Amino acid sequence: MNPTRRTLLKASAMLLATTGGLARAQEPFPNKPLRYVVPVSAGGGSDLIGRTVADRWGRVLGQSIVVENQAGGGGVIACQMTAKAAADGYSLMQGYVATHGTNPATRNVPYDPVKDFTAVGMIGATPNVLVVGANVPATTLEAFIAYARKQPGAVAYGSAGPGSLTHLTMELFAQQMKLQMTHAAYRGVAPAFNDLIGGQTQAMFPGLSAALPHIRSGRVRPLAVTGHARHPLLKDTPTLEEAGLKGFDAMQWYGVVGPPGIPANVVARLNSTLNTVLKSPDLADKLSAEALQPMPMTPDQFRRYIADEVNRWGKLARDRGIRLDM
C-alpha cells in the first residue's frame, strides 16, 4: 500500500472514531437500562426503599432501572464495585448511613465515601427513637436521664452491633447528657429488641420503622426522636431538640451515589428526575411503612451531607474510643 493511501485510510478511521464519539456524546441520556446496586440482601426495608424508588424513577427517566442486591462486608463489596464502575451514569448505588457515614467513621474501609463517589441525590431519612422497656420507671426523657444518672453504669442499652447507628446515637446521647451506661451489642436489631422487651437491657435508640411495631404493642415506650421536627407517626413524642439537645439530628438516611467523574449534565438529569419522584405523594405513601420521609437535595447538598456525617460520627468515635476492624 502506498504511503498516500495509508495516510488517507488512517485519517478516515480517525474521523469516523471522532464523529462516532461525538454522536454517542450527543445521544440523550439514558438510552439503555440502568443498574442500581442495593448493598443489602433482598427483602428488608432498605431493599424495599431501593425497589420502590427504582421503579418510579425508571418511569420518569423512560428506562428501566434494574435493582441488584450486593450484600457483603457491611456494604464494602457494593461500594468497591460502584466506585470502579464506568462513570457514565448507568451504574448507581443506594448509599446509606452505614456505607457513607458510620462505617467509614469507625472502621478502615477501602474507599473514601466522598472522593470515590459522585453524589447524585438524597432519597430520604427516618429518625431514630429513644425507647425504654415497659419495666423502666420513666415516662419522659427527663425522667429517664434522672434514672440513668442515679445508677452510673447500671443501665444497659442494646444496639444492632458495634459501630451501628443504634450504637453511635446512644453514645452521642450519653456524651451530651454525661451519662454512664453499659453497651450490649447484638447481631442485628431484632435480638436487641428481644432483650429490651425481656428486661435484660433497659434502653435502645433504633430506627423508627423497626421500633413502631413494639411501640404500638406497648412492649416498649418512646421518649424522644431525633430530627428537627416531630414525626407524623409519633406526633406525641418530642424531639431531642425540644428537650434542649441542639443539633441532635441523627437519622437513618438513604441516597444515590455513583462512581466518580460522572458528567455534570448526566448528574443533573439523574438528580432532577429523582427529585421529581421524591415529590410524588404516591411515593411518600408507599414508603410510610418504613417511616421514611423524602428529602430532595441537589448533588452538592448531598455531597456535603455525606461529608458532614463522616465528620460527625468520626469525631464521636474518636471522643468515645470507638474503633473497629472490618
What CATH class has 129-234?
alpha beta
Do domains 34-125+253-320 and 129-234 share one topology? The answer is: yes
Res 23 pLDDT > 70: no
**128 vs 95, 191, 239, 240, CA distance in Å?**
18, 17, 10, 10
Domain residue limits, the chain:
34-125+253-320, 129-234
Local confidence band at 16 (pLDDT 50, 70, 90 cut-offs): very low
* Vertex 99: Cα angle to 253 and 312 (nearest 5): 70
What average pLDDT does the segment 146-169 reach?
Answer: 97
pLDDT band at 5 (very low <50, low <70, confident <90, very high): low
**Average pLDDT score over residue span 246-267:** 94
| Integer CA distances (angstroms), 303 to 95, 277, 299, in order | 12, 20, 6
Tallying the residues shown for the chain, one arrives at 326
* pLDDT above 60 (res 271): yes
Return the sign of the alpha-carbon dihedral for residues 229, 232, 233, 236: positive
CATH of 34-125+253-320 among 3.40.640.10, 3.40.50.410, 3.40.190.150, 3.30.70.20:
3.40.190.150
Q: What is the average per-residue pLDDT within 146-175?
A: 96
Cα 248 to Cα 117: distance, rounded to the nearest angstrom: 27
pTM of this structure:
0.89
Rounded percentage of the chain residues whose pLDDT exceeds 70: 92
Peptide bond into 294 cis (omega under 30): no
Backbone φ/ψ region at 247: left (φ over 0), alpha (ψ -120 to 50), beta: left
For position 18, what pLDDT does the model report? 45
